[in-house]
Amino acid sequence: MRTLLLAATLVLCTVSLSFAAKFDTSFSYSTIETEHFSIHYHQGLEEVSRKVAAIAEETHPLLAREFGWQPAGKTQVVLIDDSDFINGLAVTIPYNAVYLQVVPPSVASTLGEYDDWLRVLFTHEYAHILSADPARGYSKVTRAIFGKPFPSLDPLSVLFFIATAPPNTFLPRWWHEGMATWAESKYTGVGRGKGTYYDMVFRSAVADDDLPSVDQINGDVPYWPSGHLAYMYGYRLQRYIAETYGPEAAGKLAIAHSGRFPYLINSPPEDLFNGKDYSDIYRDMIVALKLEQRARIKELSRVPFTPLTVVNDQGENLTNPRYSPDGSRIAFTRRDPNDHTSVVVTDASGKNVLAQFRRQLSDGSLSWSPDGKSLYFTQAEIERGFNVYQDLYVHHLESGETKRLTRGERLGNAQVAPDGRTAAAVVSSRGSQNLALFDLSLGDKAQPLPVTGYTLERVSSPSFSPDGRSICYILTDNTGMSALRIYDTAEKTDRALFRASHTFAFPIWAPDGSAIYYISDETGVFNLFAFDLKGGSSYQVSHLLAGAIQPAPAPDGSSLLLASYSSKGFKIARMEIDRSRWSLTRGPSLPSARTASLATEAEADSAAAPSPSRYSAAKTLLPRFWLPKIYGDGSDQSVIGAFTAGADVLGYNSYAISAAYSEGRKRGYFNLTYLNDYFYPTLSLRAHNEPFVYSDLYQKGYDFWEVNRGAELEASIPVNFLESSYRIKGGYELLDQKALSRLSSDGTFGGIPVFQGRRNNLFAGISYSSALKYPYSISPEEGCDLTFLYRYFGRDIGADQNLSEYSARYEQYLRLSKTQLPHPVLYLRLSAALADGDLQYGQQAFQIGGAPSEYNQYPLRGYPTRSMTGKYVATGTVEYRAPLAYPFTGPGTAPAFLEKVHGALFADAGQVWDDNRSFHANETRVGAGAELRADMTIGYWAKVTPALGFAHGFNRGGENQVYFTLYLGL
């Protein structure tokens, strides 16, 4: 689950001036009000909303007592079924809100073990609210004055934000996620902390002596278990603190931090825990973890482990192996932080790759066609511009063609019958999953037919029997029970073979149909078991130290493949099958931390939930904060004002407002931006009266100030896909420019003609992006970015000019062959613009020169910033980018982490010209040089790339430059 508690991130995801509606515009929302929560849900989630209402009110007093905090006002809870992958989001700024994607978690995920998945999900996210929201001391005073703010874009506003936002907002990710995962595990029957998956990770890390240091969980490392590190080791740290310093320690920490200035994170633990800071406590936790897991390893080692042979380890996370029908090939899903997710086909040895094709976000499952010529799989794509749903695809190995067979059907775990005419899959809808069948002979016209009718339960891993008559699958309910079930396709009957309170998953038939293999954590480890269909008994087949998942028997039944775990991830391994070694007696077992489920209480209370009402945006739309705003307008006194912003919890309405007064110029300023996301497209309106500065206009040594007054109406249409996107926009702008700086009697500024008057314009543009990067990348490695914008200024639409402006930018990323360090990239950029019509004035002319930055559209390194101007401009860059080192280190728990060091060799070229100075190739300015860059995480959350560069300009006006620049999102 992702949890974004930084208000700066909230600007981007909740109340930002975004390009698209937040949710599918076909969703119609209603609201249930309880004592402490407003629960918003769309059609089809009525039963889910009642259950969440009961869980929320039941959980509130538990967590409020745990963290010693009662939030002011109700927490907003949004339920949405827009994804086939479970997730949650908690935000505390400017008000408390929780967003839950309502779909049962995948059995293969870290959330796959639960007693009640809705309870686990809500408890985790609400723990974020109650641990991040508290205020005491100075922060209680600033909250009473300013509310809970997030910043505007100027640096001073960011400083005000750091001084006034809830202090716990600025704690590291391991603190937030560790605290929430600890609470989830304490207050639910299972939770990740009590699950076998987490224990498997800890046990393997101790066995392999591969435990992360505190700075690695403090930063952002790309290697296994990467994004889970903060959750896993943050949880283990919070658990250690509770076990060592008392169960009330979590609440004491949360309250203590809430009165400390941001980033001074070590004072609270030192005050509470005998002078030890987080680094000291983490080292103590690692010692305790080693003692715990070594005892478990010793217990498991009393019996020899089942031998496994690794057949493929070329990647970090290799899963879902499947033999081809004739046993000559193996297919599996490969995920790796260096590359795109792919399906890999090897020979039977697993060593020789025969085919490979890309795969998008998916559940990872695979199924061969009976003739061995094709692979069926599910993967996600964005539907209706918003929803991330999986569909069925088939890849033909001979032609290399991939074909999509369904659209928006929300399918997972698809498996093809032995006759190749039918497929079984799991269908997700409104929090429930069910088994479905569909006719493959219909091709892309096939429609899944659900054959079960479960509500808010998980169906997983359907598997056809060798004769195609039966389908086995796992049903997991919300009381901690799972059942191995068989659906008879001929009789259309469904029955349970057995039920248990522990986790078991991934059932698959033995080739002779006599048994069903499955993975179970009955012994505290993910081991292989077999259910004998004739005798009705369950046998333990493997005894493993780490664990394995997703068995796949060879067609001859002599062996099977597994996704076998180690501290570096999952590898494909082979295990020989010897029925004489199967045991009814269980091998050495580890103790279980699971407790009784609380789900039945919430179920009983859900019937008493209040009646719903239609969603009202007004209840969360009013401003909840303000911040002072101080800036300049070229006078001898500062401009003093205030800023606020807001959005309703569904993001249908977003706005930002600022107002200020200039004592030096005796005038007021304002800026209002409003976005409406009820429809598709997004509609935005901006009205403004603000100063604007042209720094060092034309390199004359003077800053030119003017006041811009106007309004703009824009419609924006996004066309989104998982790995590419388009944006089409258009609108009308009213704009009046008037000089604030003193002009000469001839209307010039420093001898430069400047424009005053109306610049009303119509505009239209399109942008496209397909650039992709991976966790180890130093920049995008493939794809391109393209933008085009046209503006028409005409007297017929109220302007004082007749002018057309065209601008375009094209960026291409080319992945080069690997060197000693991977990920070298060739970057190409072409930018051009022209203005056709009336004379351009000083403010309007295109300018080139200087280093790249967020504000320099036409950089030309080796030449002074904005040193050349004209009506026409063309610039280009060729840049070779290569990694130099991957330190992945930081100073303990301090808010800084160095990820990657890389360099770039570049050549820039550009020219500007106008009606009086025509284009000549020999007038092109050329510069070249090098940059040293570092990818860093600062403040625990913000990604920045500072760069130190040297450039030399080879033509007239060129110079030697040593410069510093800061890239955001390089």
The amino acid occupying position 563 is A
Cα separation, 729 vs 743, whole angstroms:
37
In a domain, 618, yes or no: no
Strands 75-80 and 37-42 turn out to be: parallel
Contact between residue 599 and residue 478 where contact means Cβ atoms under 8 Å apart: yes
Summarised one tens digit per residue, pLDDT across range 798-857 is 999 999 999 999 999 999 986 667 899 999 999 999 999 887 777 778 889 999 987 788
Contact between residue 257 and residue 265 where contact means Cβ atoms under 8 Å apart: yes
Domain's final residue, options 549, 581, 613:
581
Q: Please check whether residues 859 and 800 belong to one and the same domain.
A: no
Q: What is the CA radius of gyration of the chain?
A: 31
Distances (CA, A) of 572 to 141, 310, 337, 598, 734: 57, 6, 17, 38, 63
Q: Please check whether residues 194 and 319 belong to one and the same domain.
A: no
The single-letter DSSP state of residue 914 is B
Q: How many CA atoms lie within 13 A of 48 on its CB side?
A: 29
236 φ/ψ angles, rounded to the nearest 5 degrees: -65, -35
Span 371-400, average pLDDT: 96
Least confident range of 154-163, 264-273, 346-355, 903-912: 154-163
Contact between residue 63 and residue 187 where contact means Cβ atoms under 8 Å apart: yes
The amino acid occupying position 205 is A
Span 761-779, average pLDDT: 97
Tokens coding 886: 């991957």
Strand ranges inside 417-568, DSSP E: 422-429, 432-439, 449-450, 458-464, 470-476, 482-488, 493-500, 504-509, 515-520, 527-532, 537-540, 548-553, 559-566
Q: What was the pLDDT predicted at 855?
A: 79
Residue 632's contacts (CB-CB under 8 Å, 6 or more residues apart) are 638, 639, 691, 693
Q: What was the pLDDT predicted at 553?
A: 98
Would you list the DSSP string of 247-267? TTHHHHHHHHHTTS-TT-TTH
Contact between residue 860 and residue 908 where contact means Cβ atoms under 8 Å apart: yes
Q: What was the pLDDT predicted at 14?
A: 32
Judged on CB neighbours under 10 Å (0-12, 13-18, 19+), 492 is exposed
Distance of CA 526 to the CA centre of its chain: 28
Distances (CA, A) of 582 to 471, 547, 955: 24, 17, 80
Strand ranges inside 369-457, DSSP E: 374-383, 387-396, 401-404, 411-416, 422-429, 432-439, 449-450
The single-letter DSSP state of residue 447 is -
Span 464-471, average pLDDT: 97
Least confident range of 9-13, 138-142, 546-550, 741-745: 9-13
Residue 542 has pLDDT above 60, yes or no: yes
Residue 172 has pLDDT above 60, yes or no: yes
In a domain, 364, yes or no: yes
Q: What was the pLDDT predicted at 598?
A: 55
Q: Minimal CA–CA distance to 392: which of 342, 443, 441?
A: 443
Domain's final residue, options 522, 553, 581:
581
Residue 17 has pLDDT above 50, yes or no: no
The amino acid occupying position 66 is E
Q: What was the pLDDT predicted at 452?
A: 97
95 φ/ψ angles, rounded to the nearest 5 degrees: -145, 170
Span 602-615, average pLDDT: 68
Q: Please check whether residues 871 and 961 belong to one and the same domain.
A: yes
Q: Please check whether residues 296 and 316 belong to one and the same domain.
A: no
Q: Please check whether residues 296 and 341 belong to one and the same domain.
A: no
DSSP β-bridge partners for residue 866 = none
Q: What was the pLDDT predicted at 860?
A: 96
Q: Please check whether residues 264 and 322 belong to one and the same domain.
A: no
Cα separation, 635 vs 650, whole angstroms:
42
Span 423-432, average pLDDT: 97
Cα separation, 857 vs 869, whole angstroms:
13
Q: What was the pLDDT predicted at 601?
A: 46
Q: Please check whether residues 125 and 173 belong to one and the same domain.
A: yes
Average pLDDT for the chain: 93
Q: Please check whether residues 268 and 316 belong to one and the same domain.
A: no
In a domain, 653, yes or no: no
Q: What was the pLDDT predicted at 868?
A: 84
Q: What was the pLDDT predicted at 727?
A: 96
Summarised one tens digit per residue, pLDDT across range 473-507 is 999 999 989 999 999 999 999 999 999 999 999 99
Residue 257 has pLDDT above 90, yes or no: yes
Residue 153's contacts (CB-CB under 8 Å, 6 or more residues apart) are none
Q: Please check whether residues 464 and 385 belong to one and the same domain.
A: yes
Residue 94, preceding peptide bond in cis (omega within 30° of 0): yes
Span 688-716, average pLDDT: 89
Q: Nearest-5° angle of CA 533, CA 539, CA 541?
A: 120
Residue 225, preceding peptide bond in cis (omega within 30° of 0): yes
- Residues written for the chain: 970
Residue 20 has pLDDT above 50, yes or no: no
Q: Minimal CA–CA distance to 337: which of 212, 220, 223, 201?
A: 223
In a domain, 394, yes or no: yes
Distances (CA, A) of 345 to 172, 458, 550: 41, 30, 17
Contact between residue 577 and residue 559 where contact means Cβ atoms under 8 Å apart: yes
Summarised one tens digit per residue, pLDDT across range 870-923 is 899 999 999 999 999 999 999 999 999 999 999 999 999 999 998 777 888 888
Domain's final residue, options 517, 549, 581:
581
Tokens coding 39: 């629960």
Range of the domain at 536: 309-581
In the chain, the number of structural domains is: 4
Q: Please check whether residues 284 and 329 belong to one and the same domain.
A: no
Strands 75-80 and 97-101 turn out to be: parallel
804 vs 592, higher pLDDT: 804
In a domain, 828, yes or no: no
Domain with residue 164: its CATH number is 1.10.390.10
The amino acid occupying position 393 is Y
Return the exposure string of 259-284: e unless at least 16 CB atoms fall within 10 Å of the residue's CB, then b: bbebbebbebbeebbeebbbbbbbeb
Question: What band does 19 get if pLDDT is binned at 50, 70 and 90?
Answer: very low
899 vs 18, higher pLDDT: 899
In a domain, 506, yes or no: yes
Q: Please check whether residues 170 and 99 belong to one and the same domain.
A: yes
Q: Please check whether residues 295 and 438 belong to one and the same domain.
A: no
Question: What band does 609 get if pLDDT is binned at 50, 70 and 90?
Answer: low
Question: What band does 15 get if pLDDT is binned at 50, 70 and 90?
Answer: very low
Residue 352 has pLDDT above 80, yes or no: yes
Summarised one tens digit per residue, pLDDT across range 53-73 is 999 999 999 999 999 999 999
Domain with residue 491: its CATH number is 2.120.10.30
